[in-house]
Amino acid sequence: MSRTDTIVAIATPPGRGGIGIVRLSGPKTPEIGARLIGDLPRPRHATFARFLGAEGTVLDTGLALFFPAPHSYTGEHVLELHGHGGPFVLEALEARVVALGARRALPGEFTQRAFLNDKLDLAQAEAVADLIDAGSREAARAALRSLQGEFSAMVQGLGEALLELRTYVEAAIDFPEEEIDFLADRELGERFAAVRAHFAAVQESAQQGRLLREGMTVVIAGRPNAGKSSLLNRLAGYDAAIVTELPGTTRDVVRERIELDGLPLHVLDTAGLRPAQDRIEAEGIRRAQAEMARADRVLFVIDAVEDPTAAAYDAERGQLPPSLPVTLVFNKLDQTRGLPLADTAADPPRLGVSALTGEGLPALREHLKRSMGYQSAAGSAVSARVRHLDALARARTHTAEAERQLVENRAGELVAEELRLAHQALGEITGEVTTEELLGRIFASFCIGK
């Protein structure tokens, strides 16, 4: 891959549509555009044009938009051709541009060039993909806030606070002969306290954004005929899974995506846990256990009529991943009036529901949101990823160590070094500190035309 190449891609989804867009970016764009449509249109003005083939034949007609460098998305010359959205038409147009000297773009290469040309920082570039992939209105809003630079501004503000601390500490190191002990100054302690509060606010906003982006994965497990598939159907709002009175109806994993006040909830219904009756059921149980190992929480469904003491859970507890959070869901609440089933403070938490009538479902939804720390309609959430939270956590750890060295040892050099490492960790979020490998992983997840 070379940044001097001119790249081209179909920027609209595959399939038939009213409009299809082919996008070019790079130094040869004006030359290719002139041969393809004749005279280039005025910058940033949509102009009707005929898109010409190799022998002057018309491949398509539509609108052309030209964005000269550096005033474009990528910071390079960009030409967009808005034609008819048939697959053959778009592929023929892309092939014509390649024949004129461009090459087909790699996934995310347009946005990668925008990052490399300082049009976006890395957090904003990732927000582009998050906005495209947003699964709820709240997730889209969080991604848009990050794309507009809110998350980057939070991180930069935190970095400036750390830089001020470093400056203060290094000044104390450089002038040890001064009578005042700057490292013992109360103001320095107050600055550390302010940075701690700043870290907490940024991490809270980023954590909410990560939940909006990635959601929560819940596995519904339990004995056959406890009501697992009925609970999935009730949560989904339609018959997503087959329900019969026959034990072992569910053989494979059934997946549904549900939204809880903006939180994407990935619910997996699994085969009933019992000694397998045949090889197919054994494979279903194996898959159920594999999904539980990757889940954020297991809803272990109990038949409250047949098993009010949750003996099934006690029998299967040893087969569950040891660190996996579990909630016991006692089903058939409509048949067990008067039983004190709800106790979210218990270990594991207990809730009663009726998959038949929907009773207890609101409490279960609220429990799931609380268990992930999700705050509904979090207006300050910004789109964030695991790598952002990891960098924030490392920066916070280094800052805490700097404060410890200050309080316990008055070790100015160690304090300054820990603050430098904290500042470097924050730089990974916006791309001030990065590697080619990291960039490759990030942009490989993008769609081709972006």
- β strands within 292-370, DSSP E: 297-303, 326-331, 350-352
- Residues 177 and 211 sit within 8 Å (Cβ to Cβ): no
- Answer positive or negative: Cα dihedral of 34, 37, 41, 46: negative
Q: Minimum mean pLDDT among 8-12, 124-128, 217-221: which range?
A: 217-221
Structural domains in the chain? Answer: 7-120 (3.30.1360.120), 128-211+382-431 (1.20.120.430), 216-371 (3.40.50.300)
Whole-number pLDDT of residue 248: 47
CA 175 to chain centre: 47
Highest mean pLDDT among 109-118, 182-191, 204-213: 109-118
List the 254-260 sheet strands across, edge first: 254-260, 263-269, 216-222, 297-303, 326-331, 350-352
The pLDDT assigned to 220 comes to: 86
**Is residue 443 a contact partner of residue 111, using CB atoms and an 8 Å limit?**
yes
- Count CA atoms within 13 Å of residue 360 on its CB side: 23
Q: What distances in angstroms separate CA 69 from CA 6, 150, 175, 406, one per listed residue?
A: 13, 26, 49, 50
The answer for residues whose C-beta is within 8 angstroms of residue 2's C-beta and 6 or more apart is: none
Question: In the prediction, which pLDDT does 235 show?
Answer: 81
Burial of 368 (0-12, 13-18, 19+ CB in 10 A): buried
How confident is the model at residue 124, as a pLDDT? 92
pLDDT at 1 (0 to 100) = 53
pLDDT tens digits, 21-70: 999 999 999 999 999 998 899 999 999 999 999 888 999 999 999 999 99
Q: Which residue has the tokens 């889940």?
A: 295
The residue with greater pLDDT, 195 or 411, is: 195
CA–chain centroid gap for 327, Å, is 25
Residue 224 binned pLDDT confidence (cut-offs 50, 70, 90): confident
Number of residues in the chain: 450
Whether residue 7 is predicted with pLDDT greater than 90 in this model: the reply is yes
Rounded mean pLDDT, 111-124: 92
pLDDT tens for 367-407 read: 988 888 887 655 678 888 889 999 999 999 999 999 888 88
Which pLDDT band holds residue 286 (cuts at 50, 70, 90)? Answer: low
Q: Which amino acid, one-letter code, is at 448? A: I
* Percent of the chain surpassing pLDDT 70: 86
pLDDT for 117? 93
Assess contact for 307 and 218: CB atoms under 8 A.
no
Q: What is the mean pLDDT of the chain?
A: 83
- Worst-scoring range by mean pLDDT, 20-29, 49-58, 340-349, 423-432? 340-349
What is residue 249's predicted lDDT score, i.e. its pLDDT? 45
For range 281-310, the mean pLDDT:
79
CA dist., res. 10 & res. 95, Å (int): 10
